[in-house]
Amino acid sequence: MIYTLTLNPSVDYMVGLTEVNIGGLNRTESEAKFPGGKGINVSRLLRSLGVNSKATGFLGGFTGIYVKEYLEEEGIDTAFIKVDEDTRINIKLKAKEETEINGQGPNITDEHLQSLKGQIRQLTNEDILVLAGSIPSRLPETIYEDLVKICSETGAAFVVDAEGSILKSVLPYGPFLIKPNHHELGQFFEREITTSDEAVFYGKKLVELGAKNVIVSLAGEGAVFINEQSAYISTVPKGELKSSVGAGDSMVAGFLSSFLSGKEVKEAFRYSVASGSATAFSIGLGSKEKAEELLPQVQIREA
Ligand SMILES: Nc1ncnc2c1ncn2[C@@H]1O[C@H](COP(=O)(O)OP(=O)(O)OP(=O)(O)O)[C@@H](O)[C@H]1O
Ligand SMILES: O=P(O)(O)OC[C@@]1(O)O[C@H](CO)[C@@H](O)[C@@H]1O
């Protein structure tokens, strides 16, 4: 079973405007809301790709009820731990450029944290845990490391989509998959990464540091895949960017769904890129139909 963990879920409030008038009154031209948070996006796209998963993390208040009910209506199993304060609302503004304002999220007590650890201890070597997204400020910065340590004891595989020091802390435990974007990869190695070749070079270093499979996304410029045996560079399909929110999470879902259905990593990578672009070309997440429509446009070559 795939489990997704979102420590700080959200309601994503997506607003479309031609122009933003800072300091003035703005009225939206389009708006939509969705359950958000990186692990939750992975669960939602997996569902759309026909793969079951169970979503966990912390939810609270009226926004928490909205997220839980939305997921359950989509047929996603949930095991969230209830907290007292409201789940955050994240604002995603799409004008000429994309601007995001992410909330801080609710308070999480030690008791909540112990409940979560108890859940993770139940996973077995037949399970995969996807840990994705930022760590709420009230939780210890070592939380990802603490949880993947539990996974390495129980034999559960794990996937991590997180930045900087979090990523560094989990690499020695051998994540099955990590998916930094090129900015995050650059921050990790303290340099600017702009080309696929540079992404392959530094992605290989993440494999040396312990990751089993690495996908580096470069937004509209492509993506790369590296593991011990192979390195690939991919093009991305052409289309109108509607909102990139969740595009990276969709790559994780696309890779897992294809790989777990028995496909080779090269094909799973291709499906991952098509899934990412399906979301980039949608308001909200993409769909299986959209991903499969884009698949023929994804060209992969050896690096
Ligand atoms: N302009 C674009 N055109 C085509 N595909 C895109 C575009 N932007 C993003 N994508 C698709 O989405 C994938 C992920 O993009 P990106 O590198 O922005 O990830 P990310 O920064 O992790 O995303 P996010 O954090 O917003 O979920 C890309 O590999 C590509 O497949
Ligand atoms: O604040 P975090 O946890 O880093 O990111 C949260 C978030 O921006 O990531 C998702 C897109 O990847 C959104 O659904 C959500 O609002």
Neighbours of 244 (CB within 10 A): 21
β-pair type (98-101, 88-94): antiparallel
**What whole-number distance in Å separates Cα of residue 93 and Cα of residue 16?**
6
Each residue's pLDDT expressed in tens, for the chain with a length of 303 residues: 999 999 999 999 999 999 999 999 999 999 999 999 999 999 999 999 999 999 999 999 999 999 999 999 999 999 999 999 999 999 999 999 999 999 999 999 999 999 999 999 999 999 999 999 989 888 999 999 999 999 999 999 999 998 888 999 999 999 999 999 999 999 999 999 999 999 999 999 999 999 999 999 999 999 999 999 999 999 999 999 999 999 999 999 999 999 999 999 999 999 999 999 999 999 999 999 999 999 999 999 999
Domains of the chain, residue spans: 2-6+38-87+109-302
Q: Encoding tokens for residue 249?
A: 């999470």
DSSP 122: T
- CB contact at 8 A, 250 and 278: yes
CA 302 remoteness from chain centre:
25
Q: For strand 177-178 and strand 157-161, is the pairing parallel, antiparallel, or unpaired?
A: parallel
The pLDDT value recorded for residue 126 is 97
Distance 101 CA to ligand 2 centre (A): 10
Pocket of ligand 1 from Cβ distances under 6 Å: 181, 217-220, 223, 236-237, 241, 244-249, 251, 273, 276-277, 280
249 is catalytic: yes
- Cβ–Cβ < 8 Å for 182, 215: no
Ligand nearest to the CA of 235: 1
Phi first, then psi, for residue 131 (nearest 5°) are -105, 115
Catalytic residue among 12, 127, 161, 249, which?
A: 249
- In CATH, what class is 2-6+38-87+109-302? alpha beta
Q: How far, CA to CA in Å, does 118 sit from each of 7, 122, 126, 159?
A: 15, 7, 17, 19
CB atoms inside a 10 Å sphere around CB 54: 18
Which residue is closest in CA terms to ligand 1's atom 1?
A: 220
**Contact residues of ligand 2, CB 6 A cut-off:** 8, 10, 12, 36-38, 41, 90, 100, 102, 133-134, 245-246, 248-249
Closest ligand by atom to 12 CA: 2
Question: What secondary structure letter does DSSP report for 171?
Answer: G
- Nearest residue by C-alpha to atom 23 in ligand 1: 248
